[in-house]
């Protein structure tokens, strides 16, 4: 079982919300969600703390961390070149424009 799956199951077993876990380790519920989805990895010192909080006996530490998926770069995310002209559409020039 992967680390994200183990974290989620342990949290469910304890009837904790992601917010509860976040408060216990000093992180936001959004960060806990990222860990459980496998899109981010908790630092190792927090993995050890979570293992103790969830009473997993080292299973969370030993579990394979999930692979973080590569960011998909789409044309919608492409960078618009900055021209500095009045009709420039780059994000920098659009700030404050009516």
| pLDDT tens per residue across span 31-82 | 999 999 999 999 999 999 999 999 999 999 998 887 665 554 445 544 545 5
In a domain, 88, yes or no: no
pLDDT at 77: 47
Predicted TM-score of the model (pTM)? 0.67
In a domain, 78, yes or no: no
- State pLDDT tens for residues 29-45: 999 999 999 999 999 99
In a domain, 87, yes or no: no
- pLDDT, average across residues 12-30: 96
In a domain, 41, yes or no: yes
In a domain, 35, yes or no: yes
- DSSP states of 14-41: TT--HHHHHHHHT--HHHHHHHHHTSS-
Say whether 71 sits in a helix, a strand or coil.
coil
């Amino acid at each position: 079982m992967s680390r994200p799956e183990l974290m989620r199951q342990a949290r469910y077993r304890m009837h904790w919300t992601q917010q509860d876990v976040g408060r216990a380790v000093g992180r936001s519920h959004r960060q806990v969600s990222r860990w459980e989805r496998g899109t981010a990895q908790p630092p190792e010192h927090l993995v050890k703390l979570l293992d103790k909080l969830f009473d997993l006996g080292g299973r969370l530490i030993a579990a394979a961390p999930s692979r973080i998926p590569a960011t998909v770069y789409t044309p919608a995310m492409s960078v618009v070149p900055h021209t500095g002209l009045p009709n420039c559409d780059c994000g920098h020039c659009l700030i404050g424009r009516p």
